Structure 1
């Protein structure tokens, strides 16, 4: 099998050269693509000097857009995605590829305790993992890790779904689960990045949650609609019981909540049917 390594980079001149060199030492025959996402420093020059093939975006399109560019241009049967900022240890690449050879379609480097950039980000990632596990029905060990190896042809099936921002790991993981592809994990330790992070906890954290709900709605609609419908039904019954006990009547509010719960549940059922039709050709 032929391997490609894709490194999205924006203003990473302090780290990209050493990262590429370390990847080359581990995989001397691999194709290494650095996607320069509109850098204003010497990122492209440092990557080229280290021996990478550099593809430049004329302006910054986002981390996810760089991932999509790399996925389209990579010639390998398997693609390893990793950060160019020095967080990810290239020595873990053979472990990722070994799991691919064992039958997985995607293998994610799951960051262990002490690898998170901050306590707040660690707590947020824990919340995302539990929420994604509930939606997909599978144990998600690290939803937002950008260090992963994939089978190229299967990853490209979902390029149209991937956002241009920092949420590509979230979307790709949940899409693979929904499609019935095998996702594996290996434990890794992420080092402290070199340079300044481009992620903003509040802005991108809210975006990650939105992506989870969007993908959940797209792939498992009833897991979104059913709890809302049952909650409305419960509120309607509670209000009906209270008004009947105290006033002996059935109110418009109860009727509205009952009707709303039925409508929301039916919308979930219709969405499930649409989802099934979308994946009919892939079954």
Structure 2
């Protein structure tokens, strides 16, 4: 008899900054997801030196839910979302990893949507696009969506990809590939940097699937702003031409 195939593991990386009000809600959603293909979960939360009760909320959740495997890491100095992702990527042990914001803009039930191309043996990397249609999408900021699409087009021009949503949170990577990248950007520049560097990996197979989006307003806690847009342009040029 052949030996049983060990279950595969998905590392779920959650960068958190001042998300004490919602972190337990997103963890409830992550816990409730039943992954397809025999995947198990590994949750890695990186607290980027929050100033609210994020740490207490996470610790209370871990005590109350010992059946959800959570690794907790904390930055002693606030460094930015990209830096938190660097820590999470470094600590991940799953076969694949996915990025999950600590707010409620993205639905963990759709992890399986991103896993399907992987299970079919077609993909090493899968992006979840908010702009492919067919999924619920909260109507919010016109110029924000225009900016996202423009940055995606610019990134495509440098990477020779045809993505529709480079700035999406939901990015699923084969762990060994993303851990092999040298990532530098500590804030929202992570998105174009990882995309451009991933596009240069020999023979990498990148797919895109449609996902839902339940966006937040700035009053509800959205953090990205116009300065991050200009930084993204800088990163696209920097990593597109010189890296």
Question: TM-score, normalized by length of structure 1?
Answer: 0.72
Aligned partner of 1:49 among 33, 48, 60? 60
Alignment of 1:101-180 (within 5 A): 101-102=119-120, 103-112=122-131, 114-115=137-138, 117-158=140-181, 160-180=182-202
Aligned match of 2:230:
206
Contact 2:104 2:214 (C-alpha < 8 Å) held by counterparts: yes
Number of aligned residue pairs: 217
| Displaced runs of 4 or more, over 4 A | 113-117
8 A Cα contact 2:86 2:183, kept in partner: no
Aligned equivalents of 1:154, 1:36: Cα separation in 2? 24
Question: What CA RMSD, in Å, does the superposition of the two structures yield over aligned residues?
Answer: 1.8
Question: Which whole-Å CA distance do the structure 2 matches of 1:49 and 1:148 have between them?
Answer: 28
Contact conserved, 1:116 with 1:190, CA < 8 A, in 2? no
Greater relative contact order (Cα < 8 A, sep 6+): 2
Structure with greater Cα Rg: 1
TM-score normalised by length of structure 2:
0.83
Distance 2:139 2:12 in 1: 23
Alpha-carbon distance between aligned partners in 2 of 1:106 and 1:162, rounded to the nearest angstrom: 20
Q: Which residue, out of 2, 15, 20, partners 2:27? A: 20
Q: Matches of residues 1-283 of structure 1 in structure 2 within 5 Å?
A: 1-27=8-34, 29-51=40-62, 52-102=70-120, 103-112=122-131, 114-115=137-138, 117-158=140-181, 160-180=182-202, 181-193=204-216, 195-201=220-226, 203-218=227-242
Q: Contact 1:176–1:182 (CA<8 Å) still a contact in 2?
A: no
Aligned residue for 1:30, secondary structure, equals strand
Whether the aligned pair in 1 keeps the contact of 2:158 and 2:241 (CA below 8 Å) is no
Q: List alignment gaps of at least 5 residues for structure 2.
A: 1-7, 63-69
Unaligned runs of at least 5 residues, structure 1? 220-283
